[in-house]
Amino acid sequence: MNGNKKYIMTFIEPSFEIDEKGRVICQSHSNYPQFIKPEKTPFEDMQMETQLTCKTCTHYKNDDCFFPKADIDKIEFDRINRTRFECNLCGNKIDRMLTIIQKIYLEEKFQMKMPLICCSCYESLKKKKFDEYFTKRFWEALFFYTPVLFSLVNPYPTNLILALGSFFVVIILKFIIKQYFHYSLFLMDLIKGKRFYDKHFRDKPR
């Protein structure tokens, strides 16, 4: 045998599809046949949710994916611990890693700018009901300011202090909900998302 033989590492190129629930699925994932299995039971569907990540793929474990293992680990860390990856339409933190991987891949490989959209917003776009969904989310965000409004109409002289205290408590609660439950109740996130929708999606074919 030739002791000087060189081995060339080949990397797996990912490709993507979106299922009926708006979930990004990698067609190169080692569990892809299970992901597209028809008529899954509710338990199998729940199990699939936990599997929709690069970390369950043998290409990640073998470090032979287009994305190096270290890069995948960093993306997952940022997804969980930071607010770098948010839905462009509502500000929710993106739950599914493959949604982020698809965006980064298309931008790096083909210079295609792609928005990040959570499954709830994707569903509302699919049904052409984003305006109704936005209104629901907007009122949810306003509802959190109810304690502040009550403090302002308080007849006692401490009402300003109560209002300020209530305001900061509301902001902290909203931050906790966004960080740990990935659900944004910040009005600015929703307003920015509405502007993004009006610019890129309104009156355009889906």
- How many domains does the chain contain in total? 2
The pLDDT tens digits for 87-135 are: 999 999 998 999 999 999 999 999 888 899 998 999 999 999 999 999 9
pLDDT at 184: 92
In a domain, 6, yes or no: no
Q: Which residues contact 26 (CB under 8 A, 6 or more apart)?
A: 14, 15, 16, 32, 54, 57, 98, 101, 102
> Do residues 116 and 132 both lie within one domain?
no
Q: Per residue in 25-49, is it b (16+ CB within 10 Å) or e — as a string?
A: bbeebbbeeebeeeeeeeeeeeebe
Which amino acid, residue 139? W
> Do residues 114 and 191 both lie within one domain?
no
pTM of the model: 0.79
Structural domain of 49: 16-120
In a domain, 31, yes or no: yes
pLDDT at 2: 46
> Do residues 62 and 96 both lie within one domain?
yes
> Do residues 93 and 26 both lie within one domain?
yes
